[in-house]
Structures are given as C-alpha cells and as structure tokens.
Amino acid sequence: MSRHTHALDGQTRTAGREPAIEATNLVKTYGGGDKAVRALDGVSFTVPSGSVFGLLGPNGAGKSTTVKILTTLTAADSGAAKVAGFDVNREAAQVRHAIGYVPQKQCFDPTATGRENLVLQGRIYGVPITQTRQRTDELLERFGLAEAADRITKTWSGGMQRKLDVALGLIHRPQVLFLDEPTTGLDPEARADMWAEISGLAKADGLTVLLTTHYLEEADQLADQLLIVDRGTAVAAGTPEELKALLDGDTIQVHLADVDTREHAQKVIVAVDGVRSVELDASTLHAHVADGASALPKVLTALASAGVRLSSITAARPSLDDVYLQFAGRSFRAADRAGTEEETK
Ligand SMILES: Nc1ncnc2c1ncn2[C@@H]1O[C@H](COP(=O)(O)OP(=O)(O)OP(=O)(O)O)[C@@H](O)[C@H]1O
C-alpha cells in the first residue's frame, strides 16, 4: 500500500466540519473454515459532509459489505465506523435515523402507487402525516414523478422505479444517503437522468452521498472522491482527476490480431523510445508513454518491423481503467467478469 499512501492521506483531510462518514480498518469475514470469505480486509476512508463519495470496484470487491456495515445492517468483525457523528455499533438507532439507504434491489411495493409508497415510508420512519404528505409532493416533483404519482408502480418504467427507490430513501430528510449500485440495469438514457439527480442532491441539498458502482464512467462523472476497492482492500483513493494524474502521460492501447504474439509484442514496445512500461491484459497491451501523439507512430513502426499484426491501436489520456490496471494488476472489466463468474458458481 505504500505507493498509494499519498492519495489515501489526501482522503482524510476535511475542511473543519466533522466528516459525514469515517470508516477505520473495517474487517469482515463471511463463513468459517475452508469456506471463509474475507469480504473486507482493513478498509479505511473518510467522507466530507456534502460530497459525493464513490466506492468503485468489480463484483465481489466488498462494496455492499462496506455499505451494510455503515448502515448498521451487519457488524464488522473489527474496525470502527461513524456515520453522521454516530458510532455504528453503539449508536445504531441514531445512525439509522440520520441515513437513507437505497439497496441494490427495488424496495417499493409494486402493487401500490408511487404516492402510497412514499406515504407509507414516511409513516415507517415516524414522520408526522402532514409533513409526510408535503415531503411526498416535494419528492414526486423533484424526481419528475408527479404525473405518474397515482399510478400503480409496477406499470412505471425501470428509470422511474429506480428514482422512486431513491425518493423513498429521502422521505425523512436524512443527512447521509447510501446508494448501492443506483444505475445497474438502467438503459443509458435513464442512467444519465439518474446521474443528474444524484449530483443535484449533493449540490442543491447539501446531502452527503455514498454510492457504490462498478461502472468506471459513473464513478468518473459523479464522485468528488473515489475509493477503488479490490478483493476487500483499498487499492487507490482520491478525486477521479487525482487518480488519473497518478499516471501522468498517456496510454497507448494495442489490440493484437493474434494473442500468441503478446509476449513478443510486449518486448518490442518496451524497447521503443519514450515507452515507460507495458502491461498485458488478454490480447491488449497498455503502454504508458509521456506523449501519446509522438510515441504512437514509433510503436506502430516497431511492431510492423517485428511482424506483429494488430487489430487496432489507440492513444488516450489515462482512464480509471488504467488506474485500476496499474494498482490492481488486472483490468477492471476482466476483474468484473471474474467476480460475476465467482458469484454465480
Ligand atoms: N452473506 C454472505 N455470505 C457469504 N459470502 C458473502 C456474503 N455476502 C457477500 N459475500 C462475499 O463477500 C465478498 C464481497 O461481497 P460484496 O457483496 O460486499 O461485494 P460487492 O463489491 O458489493 O459486489 P457486487 O457488485 O457483486 O455486489 C464476495 O466474495 C461475496 O461473495
């Protein structure tokens, strides 16, 4: 972890106000003996009030487990956490009152209308009925659901249903909102719409939002601060820009026509002037260079002279995928696929 210390230290600085979330060295193991799964292996982070914090990681990285500990749904084996100033173990009731939690799976009654769902949720939280009605109207309006409010929610689109999930988490005016994979399963348009809503929540309402995602683009777009987790540990932290700046220079991605030539191609590219390092990922090579525009023709010429056939080659500024590749040693998409396969076994 030492090479990431700089960015992780940056995470703990806050501007005077008490942080909305402080997680220290969280450890959680499921099961025991041979079947034990270490879901979290010492994760720490701090979320300043009024910001959007992204927990980014492939399937099975430990994101939901972190959220469950912070929302008091499960207890960590060791470590400590405070949310809205309350200890998740000793002051669980206060934590629950101060937070909204939107789980991965839909949490409304599909046979009730949107309005009925919101009013019921307000009652569950003990919000007085007049305030519940007022807040319901406000939330329906804010999420563009007012017109559909009195229709049974199972007739709503997926995007509308997901917005209702978020609205339900806000009925009691929490200080901190947890969104577990808020846009999984949504089409691109509904996803963009949801992104706009989420960034509005922090900016307009001063709410602190912690969201988990396995979409790099979502983390890049929404998060003020990001923690990248992999196999239960934090691999990098910072703003999306800081993380990308850790990889100064550009990345040249070389897609090989023949996967068997990858080791040979790697040696050829490493020898090109201006190439700092080359990482291998299936049939793609990622070369880190100071300046993509000047290095690309040299890489092309070297590969052509060595008889390596390509299917494509591109130069780009580093992406979060490159950050992940550098720190986790494998590409995000490959890790996500591996995680999904692991979970469906
Ligand atoms: N109740 C449980 N019992 C046993 N193992 C579990 C349980 N919940 C999670 N795990 C395992 O712990 C690890 C972390 O899971 P977690 O759900 O926190 O990951 P995640 O990053 O949220 O992944 P996803 O994006 O798939 O939800 C995984 O290996 C998962 O299979």
Residue nearest to atom 7 of ligand 1 (CA): 30
pLDDT, tens digit, 9 for 90 and up, residues 97-141: 999 999 988 889 999 999 999 999 999 999 999 999 999 999 999
**pLDDT (0 to 100) of residue 281:** 82
Ligand 1 center to 96 CA (angstroms): 22
CATH 3.30.70.100 in the chain is located at: 248-317
Contact (CB, 8 A) for 62 and 229: yes
Task: Give CB contacts under 8 A, 24+ apart, made by 136-142.
Answer: 136/171, 139/167, 139/170, 139/171, 140/114, 140/115, 140/167, 142/167
pLDDT more than 90, % of the chain: 63
The pTM of this model reads 0.81
Ligand 1 center to 14 CA (angstroms): 30
36 Cβ closer than 6 Å to some ligand 1 atom: no
Rounded average pLDDT over 259-286: 90
Report ipTM (2 d.p.): 0.96
Cα distance between residue 62 and residue 41, in whole Å: 9
**pLDDT (0 to 100) of residue 146:** 96
29, 37, 102, best to mutate for ligand 1 pocket (most atoms within 8 Å of CB): 37
What are the CA-CA distances from residue 279 to residues 11, 244, 299, 328 (Å)?
A: 28, 16, 14, 12
Ligand 1 atom having least distance to the Cα of 181: 25
Start-to-end C-alpha separation, the chain: 31
Q: Top-level CATH class of 19-239?
A: alpha beta
Say yes or no: domain 248-317 is CATH 3.30.70.100. Answer: yes
Ligand 1 center to 344 CA (angstroms): 11
**pLDDT (0 to 100) of residue 204:** 79
Under the banding of pLDDT at 50, 70 and 90, the label for residue 339 is low
Q: What is the mean pLDDT of the chain?
A: 88
pLDDT, tens digit, 9 for 90 and up, residues 275-292: 988 988 878 899 989 888
Ligand 1 atom having least distance to the Cα of 343: 31
**pLDDT (0 to 100) of residue 176:** 96
CATH 3.40.50.300 in the chain is located at: 19-239
pLDDT, tens digit, 9 for 90 and up, residues 178-215: 999 999 888 888 899 899 989 888 887 789 999 999 88
